[in-house]
Structure 1
Amino acid sequence: MIEMLSNDHLKVLINTLGAEITSIQNNDGMEYIWQADKNYWGRHAPILFPIVGRLKNDECEYDGKKYHMTQHGFARDMEFSVLKHTQDTIDLQLLSNDYTRERYPFEFKLIVHYKLIESKLSCIISVYNTDNREMLFSVGAHPAFNVPLVKDGSEQYNDYSLQLSDKGKYNEISFEAPYADISQKNKIDLSDPIRLSHDLFKKDAKVIEVPKHTQISSTLTSDKNKHGVTMTPYDNEYAGLWSIKDAPFVCLEPWWGITDDIHSNGKLKDKVGINKLVPNDKFDARFDITIF
């Protein structure tokens, strides 16, 4: 089911399947979210839980038992219930059940909270441990934005660039797609904007480590118009930039976790980027999407 949020600045559509943003439009009707053309990539902005990326051989082991789970976890393909819905706010919930227990060993509650604040859509993904033991998980978001935003042919993909709020050098994670090679980190200087090109993603996503206690916003803009998007995550561990061959979109991805390392031993407790949550506790993954 598609639910709508609106205010004087934006209209947003949220699908209860996956708690996924499917549209963000401004007052002029400009669409910012990728419209899931299956010729390229048939999703809009999936929620990633309880893993980010792919498990080695699509399986993990916990407490002597193996669990099969496909890329980015199961939340993106499950129906959420609506807990609350006002004109500018919605809360959606997913609870552990027989289906999730076959794929993931823990009891959980996942609540995705969206709120419109002027030209900003704020999202908080809250992970609750409802089990009686420590819970292991990763979580993230995967929103895709139209590039170009202007559809009259006056702009090209490479007219767009991405600028980080904190300029400087970062650790870039190497990939042997679809897995990471955490032992191979390159220093990348992001003092200047990243110019988008389709060649940029030949080897999969571009992923950097985010230093602890650092809030890094990334702003997508064009040389030829005044419109753009700012992604502002809070306390995320990794930031991803992704697209695929010749596709007219780019994903700005805040992650609290990462795909398996090429040297993974398959044990969930040893997974790179795994988060730990004690019983009856909560973890909030928060990000803001600001439209201009």
Structure 2
Amino acid sequence: MIILHDDFLTVQIDQMGAELISVKDNESQIEYMWQADSTFWGRHAPILFPIVGRLHDDQYQLQDQTYGLTQHGFARDRDFTVVSQTPTKVILEQRADAETKQKYPFDYQLTVTFELKAHELQVAMTVMNPNQQELPFSIGAHPGFNVPLDTAGGSFTDYQVTVAPKRVYDRIPLSGPYSEVNQQVTDDFRQPKGLNHQAFDQDAKILALNGEETTVMLSSTKDDHGVALHVGGAPYVGIWSPYPKEAPFVCIEPWWGIADPVDHDGNFLTKPGLNRLAANQQFTAAYSISYF
């Protein structure tokens, strides 16, 4: 277990999947991160790579071969090694091996950096292409936050979601686990939206950000506590809580990729939201979370 700390927060990160598993306020001892109760969802904040979302039949075609790859890819279920660590910063790394190439036939180097700065945790996920051939991939984050934060009381419906810039966003519906990228609807975030479980009856709310700097905040209407996730350069953000389980958490998920469209033919190279890295180049997907 990796521990980062400063005067305000203490952070725990698991080397398995480079998964953020705990963020506690040093004074109040509020735990911000969802604690992976498998009754609802047995993860905290998985890293999504080399795909985001689900493939049709959990498989794809590439160069006349078929490969199997389950939802959100495999990086979250594999160990990372520690490259360097200080009290407030750690760099973790995962590389391709024979096992990953059975599912995803590319060399890759995935580096994840966590840096604590006062009340903010900065996260950077960097993919490097050591190949001479192009590297196609998607990547994303999936942090879950306790709602309510106050273990002594409060309820899910005491919280609200605020998105900045305040505007009407294009939203991509899901049909089962697959995206309806050509059937976009709109979602009005000119005002905060109160949380309720019924809002997630069609799974995640996927907002199209088009790379614009965006902040999504979960906050209580009863006190001053909450979280704010800030991202720049991401095409999508998902907001999700399981339904109909009425789980006491919400995920805010910056994505550089998306699930297969309903009508996708399975060709990996025509998958929407795919990033492509030239030989010896790198791509960084970064976001930050402020805790208050």
Q: What TM-score do the two structures reach when normalised by structure 1?
A: 0.98
Aligned residue runs from structure 1 range 33-72, under 5 A:
33-72=33-72
- What are the equivalent positions in structure 2 for 1:159-198 lying under 5 Å apart? 159-198=158-197
Within-5 A mapping of 1:116-265: 116-153=116-153, 155-212=154-211, 214-244=212-242, 245-265=245-265
Cα deviations across residues 104-142 of structure 1 (Å, max 9, x unaligned)?
Answer: 021100000000001000000000011110110000000
Q: Distance in 2 between matches of 1:57 and 1:192?
A: 39
- What is the rounded CA distance, in whole Å, between the counterparts of 2:214 and 2:176 in structure 1? 25
Q: Which runs of 5+ in 1 are unaligned?
A: none
State the alpha-carbon separation in 2 of the partners of residues 73 and 211 from structure 1: 23
- 1:175–1:203 CA contact under 8 A, matched in 2: yes
Q: Is the 8 A contact 1:62 1:105 kept in 2?
A: no
CA deviations on 1:223-258 (whole Å, 9 max, x unpaired) are 101111000012001010001121000000000000
Residue 165 of structure 1, CA deviation = 1.5
1:31 is paired with a residue of what secondary structure? coil
AA matched with 2:42: G
Query: What is the rounded CA distance, in whole Å, between the counterparts of 1:274 and 1:52 in structure 2?
Result: 9
| 1:3 lines up with 2:26 in the alignment | no
- 2:198 and 2:15 map into 1 onto residues whose CA distance is 34
Contact 1:91–1:113 (8 Å) recurs in 2? yes
Please give the per-residue CA displacement for 1:203-236, whole angstroms capped at 9, x wherever unaligned. Answer: 1100011123x10101110110111100001200
Flag as ranges the 4+ runs of structure 1 deviating above 6 A: none
Partners of 2:171 and 2:194 in 1: CA distance: 16
1: CA distance between counterparts of 2:255 and 2:171? 14
Three-state SS of the structure 1 residue aligned to 2:173 is: strand
Which whole-Å CA distance do the structure 2 matches of 1:75 and 1:284 have between them? Answer: 16
1:170, distance to aligned residue in structure 2 (A): 1.2
The residue matched to 1:269 in structure 2 has which SS?
Answer: helix
Kept in 2, the 8 Å contact 1:205–1:241? The answer is: yes
Unpaired segments of 5 or more residues in structure 2? none
How many angstroms apart in 2 are the aligned matches of 1:20 and 1:86? 18
Which amino acid letter does the alignment assign opposite residue 188 of structure 2?
Answer: D
Q: Give the structure 2 partner of residue 19 of structure 1.
A: 18
SS at match of 2:181: strand
Helix, strand or coil at the partner of 2:182 = strand
SS of residue matched to 2:50: coil
Separation in 2 of the partners of 1:98 and 1:139?
21
Matched-pair identity in %: 40
- Alpha-carbon distance between aligned partners in 1 of 2:12 and 2:19, rounded to the nearest angstrom: 9
Q: How far apart, in 2, do the equivalents of 1:17 and 1:121 lie?
A: 19
Q: What's the CA shift string for 1:12-31, capped at 9, x where partnerless?
A: 00000000000000112110
Q: State the AA in 2 paired with 1:3.
A: I
Q: Distance in 2 between matches of 1:18 and 1:113?
A: 13
1:180: how far off? Answer: 0.6
Q: Greater shift after overlay, 164-173 or 71-80?
A: 164-173
Partner Cα separation in structure 2 for residue 250 and residue 98 of structure 1:
36
- Partners in 2 of 1:179 and 1:61 — Cα distance? 17
Secondary structure at the aligned position of 1:289 is classed as: strand
What amino acid is aligned across from residue 165 of structure 2 in structure 1? D
* Aligned counterparts of 1:107 and 1:34: Cα–Cα separation in 2: 33
Contact in 2 for aligned 1:18/1:75 (Cα 8 Å) = yes
Question: Which region of structure 1 is more displaced relative to structure 2, 193-202 or 235-244?
Answer: 193-202
Aligned residues: 289
Distance 2:290 2:182 in 1: 34
Residue type at the aligned position of 2:32: Y
Deviation of 1:9 (Å)? 0.7
What is the CA distance between 1:177 and its match in structure 2? Answer: 1.4
TM-score (norm 2): 0.98
